[in-house]
Structure 1
Amino acid sequence: MASHRRPKPPTPRYAGVVTATAAAAVALSTQSASADPLPDPAKKGVQARVDRLYEQATQATEKYNGAKEKADGLRAEVAALQDAAARKQGELNALRERIGTVAAGQYRSGGLDPSLQLFLSGDPDSYLERASALDRVGDRQTAVLQQFLGRQRALQQQRRLAADKLADLGSTQKELGSRKNEIQGKLREARRLLDTLSAKERERIAADEDRANRASTRVSLGNEASASQRAAAAFAAAQSRVGMPYVWAASGPNSFDCSGLTSWAFRQANVSLPRTSQAQANVGTRVNSLSDLRPGDLIIMRTDLSHVGFYAGNGQILHAPKPGAQVRYESIARSGMPFMWGVRIG
C-alpha cells in the first residue's frame, strides 16, 4: 500500500487552545490546592478511569459475544432435535396404526393374540421380557413390536436431549442479560464521569479522539505482502471499514466491535472464524514475535485475550478499539494493550 502523508503539525490557533486549556488546568489545580489540600477524586484522573471503564466494557462485550454465539448454537441444536423428535413421533404413530390394524383384524376374526393384548396393555416396555412365555408369538410379529419399542425409546431420548439443550439455552440467555447489564452499566458510568468534566476538558478529549480517528488517513503502512491470499482479502475488507463506529456486540457491515470486525472481514474472504477474540486466538498458526507478523495476520492483545485486530504493517494495528472510537489504524506500541501473539490464517 502506498504511504500516506504525515500528520500536519497543530495550527497556531489549535496550539493556542491547548496552551490555554493547560494553563487553565494549572490555575484550577493551584487554586484548589490553596483552598483544600486534599485532591478531589471526582475530578482527578477522570480520563484514566473512563479509559478503564471502556476497557472493562470491551472485555464484557467479548464475554457477551461468547454467550450469544453459544445461545445461537443451542437454538439451532434445539430446533434440529425437535425436528428429529417430530419425525420419530410420525414414524411411531404410523407403526402404532399398523399394529392396531393387525389387532383389529384379529379381534374381528374371533380373538386377540395374547402378545398383542400384552403389547396394547399400556406397558409395552416389558413386552419383550414377558413375551417369551407366550407360545403364540411369531417371529415376524416380534420383529414389528421390537421396531416399535426401539423407535419409542429413540423418541424419548430425543426429547430428553431437547429438554437438556433448552435448559442450557435458558441459563445462557440469563448470562446474556447479565453481560448486557454489565456493559451498559460501565458505559453509563463512563458518561457520568465525563459529565463531571468542564466543557473545555470534554472538548479536549473529543479533539484527541477525533485526531486519532483522522490519523488513519495519513498512516504509513509500508508495502509488505500478506502471508496468504485469504489473509490479504480479509485485510482488504477490514480496510474498507475504516471510519465505521465501534458498537458493542456489532459485527458489521456498518458498525463493529473488535472481534466483530475480524470475523466479518474473514467472512468476506470465505473463511469462518469464531465470534470472540479468545476463540480467534486459538485458530490458524500462532506467530509469537511482532517482527514475524505480516499484514492480514490477527493480533491478540491483553493478557485475557480480550482484544483482536489486524496487523497492518509498519508496526500498526487495524482494529475497532473501544466505545466512542472508529475502526482505525494505530501504533501497536502506543495502543496501551500488551501484545500476546499473532494468528496467521492460511
Structure 2
Amino acid sequence: MLDQRMFANIDWTLCVLVLMISGVGMIALSSATLGIPGKEDYLIQQVYRIVAGIGVIILTQFIHYRHWARFGFLMHILVIVLLVLVLLYGTGGPGSPVQRWLKVGPFFFQPSEFSKFTLVLALAHHFRDFEQPKGNWLWMIWPLALMAVPVVLIIKQPDLGTALLLLIVFIPIIFLMGIRLKTIIIIGLLSLASLPVIWMFVLKSYQKGRILTFLNPERDPLGSGYHIIQSKIAIGSGGVFGKGFGEGTQGQLNFLPAHHTDFIFAVFSEEWGFVGAMLVLLLFLILTLWSLAEVLKAKNRVSAILITGIVAIIISHVLINIGMTTGLMPVVGVPLPFFSYGGSSMLSMMFGIGLLLNIRMRRFEKK
C-alpha cells in the first residue's frame, strides 16, 4: 500500500537524473540511426521502451522492497528456466552464432538482462538475517549456486559480458556480508588457477580473438580489431567540442559497427566531443554517488544489499561499456544503461531504478 508520506518521500533527484540520461541517450540514438533504413522505427520503439520503463518504475512502488526480495528466489528460478529455454529455442538473429533472445509474438526478450537483478533480490533475501559462521565454508555454497547456475547458462549462449557482470555484482554483496580476507585470497587464487581451463574449454574462438585483439588491436585491423580501432578513431576525432549533431563520420558512414547499441558512446563522443562525453560520465557519477549514499542510511540489511547490488550493476555496465569503446577492455557486448538501443536492457534497468526509489520512499519506516 502507498500513503501520502511515501509520495512525499519520492526521490525526485534520482528521477530527474534517470530522465536526463535517457534524454541524452535519445539524442545520441537519433543521430546514430540517421543512416539506418527505417530510423524512425528505432526512435519510436526506444520512446515506447522508456515510457514502458517509467510504467515499470511506478508499478514497482506498489510492492514493498522486502516483498520483492522475498519473492526474489522464485523470480531467479524463473529466469534460470528462461535461460534454459534460450539455449533450447532461443535466437540471435539471421546468421548469428549466438542464442540470447526468446521470441514472444512480435517481441524479443533477453532473460539474461534480468538475471542480474533477480540475483540481487535472491541474495538480499538469503542474507537478510545472516551471521557468518566461524571456520565454516558451507555458508558460501548456496550464494555461489545462485550466481554460478545463470553464469554457466549465459556463457553457453555465449554471452561472456553478462556472465562477467553477474560475477562483478556478486563480489560487493559478499564484501558487504563481511567475508574474511583469507576467504577472498583463496577464492582469488582459485579463480586465477581456473583461467587456463576457461581459455581452453569455455571461451569460443571469437571470444579469444577479442581478448588477443584487446592486447593488440592492430593484429587484425579488418577483423576482430575493427570495432576497437573505429571506436577509438570516432572518440579521438571528436576533439573538445565534437563535430556536431549528425556530423560524425565513423557513425554516419557506418564505419563503426553496432553504433546504435554497444558503441553508441563512441558516436556521441565524436559528435559532442570531450565536453559531451564528460557530461555523460558526470551524470552517471552523480547517479552512482547519490544512490550509494543511501547505503549509509539503510535501516536493514535487505535494503543495503539491494542498493549495493543495483548500483554495482549500473556502474559496472558503464565502466565496461566505456572501457570497450575506448580500448581499455575487450569487446564483450555490454550496453550503456539508458543509452543503448534495446528493450530488455532498458526495462531491467528501470526495474532496478524502481527498487531504489522503493527503498527511498520507505525511509521513514523504523525498521
The answer to whether TM tops 0.5 is: no
Which protein is richer in strand relative to its size?
1
Q: Which is higher, the Rg of structure 1 or of structure 2?
A: 1
Tell me which of the two structures has the higher relative contact order, counting C-alpha pairs closer than 8 angstroms and 6 or more residues apart: 2
* Normalised TM-score (structure 2): 0.23
